[in-house]
Amino acid sequence: MMTTIHPLSSEDAAFVAAMRQAAAAHKGAPLGPEARPMFDAMMASTPAAAGIRVEPGTVGGIPGFWLRLEKVTSTSRILHLHGGGYVLGSAQAAIGFASQIANRAGADTFVPNYRLAPEHPFPAAIDDTVAAYRGLVAEGAERIVVSGESAGGGLALALLSFLSAEKDTLQPAGAAVMSPWTDLTLTGSTYETRAEADPIFTKDVFKGFVAAYLNGVDATDPKASPLYARLEGLPPVRIDVGDDEVLLDDSIRYADRARAAGTEVSLSIWTGMPHVFQASIGQLNAAEQSVDAIAAFLRQRLA
């Protein structure tokens, strides 16, 4: 499958420049649990899609939120995994963002509140993700796709490889991930080549996340770093990533390895865009275009 490079529009360039200026003072600041309220407020600013009913729920023993669409009778489901470096983020803060995907893809969506580090280090997050997926199957979902951003994108890809070893389990029909964190060894070349371009993150920020989450576990464990997982026999994957982010290489290397293993991967690289730019839907044209394309991919996988 293809790699697509999307150009930067002049309107988006102006918005990103302003955002870059606003973020400059905080770039590289360590992000521990104390940053959770700030991170949640930032993620919760993504507007919710119209016509979505939000219900607290528990799936597979994991609490979270259901995003229910009006007049949908299908048993297809989306499992959406929020980002935050395994230390930050929550299902509640992700409702607006996930609802934009759910609404466009046309499927009821569950957003699990997986446990966070350092209180609950690896493998708590992936264990909770697997439990939520199994819960959707147990509740009668006949087709499931997975979406996620940043660490949630890494969880989504780790889930695919983990489940692919189980021949008697309903396999996901596909996954769409945004700026996925696929390699907790932090060996991607773009930690250096995009160090200046990235308006938000530095390698040291990710080192802090790794220390909190892995707690000494080998970073090449495939349940932590899907880049090192078995990539044969996976369902189709769509990856969207900004060209101005230190995690760019995590997407490129994963796409290369997955394709080499025979997995169908489409990689979209968005010029001038920062990490998880899709959360700025309503402000960035690229966010709208990316989320529309992600939803079209998921809708096709659920058909």
Catalytic residue among 90, 149, 225, 245: 245
Residue 2: per-residue pLDDT: 87
- Whether omega before 118 lies within 30 degrees of 0, making that bond cis, reads yes
Please report, for residues 22, 38, 43, the alpha-carbon distance to residue 68 in angstroms, rounded to integers and kept in the order given: 35, 27, 20
Provide the pairing of β-strand 62-69 with 108-112.
Answer: antiparallel
Average pLDDT over residues 7-29: 93
Where does 139-283 have alpha helices with state H?
151-164, 190-193, 203-214, 248-260
Q: What is the pLDDT of residues 99-124, one digit of tens each?
A: 999 999 999 999 999 999 999 999 99
Q: What is the pLDDT of residues 263-282, one digit of tens each?
A: 999 999 999 999 999 999 99
Q: What is the mean pLDDT of the chain?
A: 96
- pLDDT at 5 exceeding the cut of 70: yes
Q: Is 275 a catalytic residue?
A: yes
Contact 242, 273 (CB under 8 A): yes
- pLDDT at 1 exceeding the cut of 80: no
Q: Which residues contact residue 230 at a Cβ distance below 8 angstroms, ignoring those fewer than 6 apart?
A: 161, 164, 165, 222, 261
- pLDDT at 73 exceeding the cut of 80: no
pLDDT band at 288 (very low <50, low <70, confident <90, very high): very high
Residue % of the chain over a pLDDT of 90: 97
Q: What is the pLDDT of residues 151-196, one digit of tens each?
A: 999 999 999 999 999 989 999 999 999 999 999 999 999 999 999 9
Q: How many residues can be counted in the chain? A: 303
Catalytic residue among 90, 147, 150, 290: 150
Q: Distance (Å, rounded) from C-alpha 50 to C-alpha 69?
A: 9
Residue 167: per-residue pLDDT: 86
Q: Which residues contact residue 246 at a Cβ distance below 8 angstroms, ignoring those fewer than 6 apart?
A: 188, 190, 191, 194, 195, 198, 201, 202, 203, 206
- pLDDT at 71 exceeding the cut of 90: no
